Amino acid sequence: MEYINFSGPINSLSFGNVSVNMLRELYKLDQKICFFPIGDNLDLSAFDKIDAEFKEWISESYVNRIKNLKKCNRSIKMWHLNSSESRIGKSQTLYTFHECSEPTETEINLCKVQDKCVFSSSYSANLFSKMGCDNAEYIPIGFDPDLHETKKEYLKGRVNFGLVGKFEKRKHTARIIKLWAKKYGNNNDYQLTCCINNSFFKQDQMKSAILKATEGKVYSNINFLPRLKTNSEMNEVYNSIDIDLSGLSGAEGWNLPAFNATCLGKWSIILNCTSHMDWAHKDNAILVKPSGVEPIYDGIFFKEGGPFNQGKMYSFSDESFYESIDLALNSKLNKNKEGIKLQKKFSYKNTINKLLKITTS
């Protein structure tokens, strides 16, 4: 069997989770790879459910990567468009996430220099295709098999809302907290559990962002979790949620938190835009119609006038937020059976099989 060059990060962030799940499917196929971890990081401590043999396979694929490297090997890179220009071998399929509405000249050119450029959402693939990228493809990611229903009772007699995903403007993090606090603040029949640490923020920046979101107030029923170290801890958070608010993000390449919660039978309130439209529909989510668009720039991750990440994000009205919460409160009495079906419809097995079919040598 020929070797495949695989490049991707290994970390506890969303890109790292996607890389590990792609690698796991290659391992199941007994596919030989030369593994080039982006950042040279092999810290698998967050992935506490993967087996020892798989870990050893990753390690051996890394240690022997140069020995088994050939110019004709097919190559897959799982990374941002930014810094995707380097390649190992003569051909490369890039798998990437893109959130913004206006592909820049730099991003378009980086897409075109790939043999295939695969986007996680049809929204992004269509944007780049319209800009002349005839190599742009769409292949969705899947449900992480390390996640599962625990069947535990977490907050008896209370409704637990969840907000998961790094603190960002495009995710409407601060606005969601403010709106929720206005309706339910200090009403202990309800709780908001926030897992919103942004690893790119310094500790004082994170504290300042939270303080601004709560307008300097301390609420008895808003819980800000510390950074979680393992996927098992994250699984407990998903299972404790009754209603997920992470889907109100205004620009996403997939939105793993909202997707994972939905797959586990939770009801997620979803802004019906960008990548959400690939997996969320009226039968498996509480859909919110966007009220308009606004600039995505936050001066930190999205800087106006730059060569990457330009455009607009979708917004929602206060009224639609509160209306969707009322709908979710009625729906939460029933398990989201249509959401659970997403586990089979979207799998990493399908992702890898489709990637291998289009990857050329």
**Integer-rounded Cα radius of gyration of the chain:** 20
| CATH architecture assignment, domain 159-345 | 3-Layer(aba) Sandwich (3.40)
Written out in words, the top-level CATH class of the domain with range 4-142+347-358 is: alpha beta
Torsion region of 135: left, alpha or beta (phi above 0 gives left; psi -120 to 50 gives alpha): alpha
* pLDDT at residue number 334: 83
d(CA 195, CA 164): 5
Cβ-in-10-Å burial (0-12, 13-18, 19+) of 228 comes to middle
Which pLDDT tens digits describe the chain residue by residue (361 residues)?
A: 799 999 999 998 899 999 999 999 999 999 999 999 998 788 899 999 999 999 999 999 999 999 999 988 999 999 999 999 999 988 999 999 999 999 999 999 999 999 999 999 999 999 999 999 999 999 999 999 999 999 999 999 999 999 999 999 999 999 999 999 999 999 999 999 999 999 888 899 999 999 999 999 999 999 999 999 999 999 999 999 999 999 999 999 999 999 999 999 999 999 999 999 999 999 999 999 999 999 999 999 999 999 999 999 999 999 999 999 999 998 777 889 999 999 999 999 999 999 999 997 6
d(CA 12, CA 41): 11
What amino acid is encoded at 203 in this protein? Q
pLDDT in tens, 178-236: 999 999 999 999 999 999 999 888 899 999 999 999 999 999 999 999 999 999 999 99
d(CA 334, CA 138): 33
* pLDDT at residue number 12: 87
Taking the mean position of all CA atoms in its chain, how far away is CA 102?
A: 20
pLDDT in tens, 282-291: 999 999 999 9
* pLDDT at residue number 361: 63
* pLDDT at residue number 13: 87
d(CA 317, CA 361): 49
Helix residue ranges per DSSP H, the chain: 14-28, 52-63, 105-112, 122-130, 173-184, 203-213, 231-240, 256-263, 318-331, 337-340, 342-345, 348-358
In the chain, CATH 3.40.50.2000 covers 4-142+347-358, 159-345
